[in-house]
Amino acid sequence: MLAHAAAELIVFLHFAFIMFVLFGACLTLRWKWIAWLHVPAFLWGAAIEFLGAVCPLTPLEQRLRVAAGEAGYSGGFVEHYIVPVIYPVGLTAAIQFWLGLGVVALNAAIYAWILVRWRQR
């Protein structure tokens, strides 16, 4: 029971981290200090995609699921709706590269816009 709950928490945190990597630059509009957290997170997320690496949260979640006696991702909201976003079917190295490029482009555009706004002040 505890291992299952911990695995679901890991998936939620993984999803939250991905959302932060994608959109964390927007938070710097309100709180400039967020950039100190977002830039390393964004670089890590892009590196994972470009290198085709596995985030350390993935094996942790899988070990917790095995400890909970589970064989896979079945049942519940987290498994049905969040897990497919984090672990899409048919993910290839080429798709990961384009995802990484998208993360870089999105964040570069947001930071460029932020820098223009700051300079206009």
pLDDT (tens digit per residue) in 11-63: 889 889 989 998 899 898 889 899 999 999 999 988 888 887 778 888 888 88
pLDDT band per the 50, 70, 90 thresholds, residue 8: confident
The pLDDT tens digits of the residues spanning 66-117 come to: 888 876 554 444 555 666 777 777 778 788 788 888 889 988 998 999 889 8
User: How far is the C-alpha of 101 from the C-alpha of 20, rounded, in Å?
Assistant: 16
Q: Is the dihedral of CA 36, 114, 41, 22 positive or negative?
A: positive
For residues 86 and 31, what is the distance between their CA atoms, to the nearest angstrom?
A: 27
CA-nearest of 57, 55, 65 to 5 is 65
Residue pointed to by tokens 């899409």: 88
What global pTM score does this model have? 0.74
What integer pLDDT is reported at residue 36 of this predicted model? Answer: 95
- Domain ranges, ordered by start, for the chain: 2-120
Query: If you average pLDDT over every residue of the chain, what do you get?
Result: 83
Identify which of 40, 51, 36, 58 has the alpha carbon closest to the alpha carbon of residue 99.
Answer: 51
Asked whether 17 and 57 are in contact (CB, 8 A), the reply is yes
The reported pLDDT for the residue numbered 59 is 82
Whether residue 10 is predicted with pLDDT greater than 50 in this model: the reply is yes
- Give pLDDT, residue 93: 79
Instruction: Determine the pLDDT at residue 46.
Output: 87
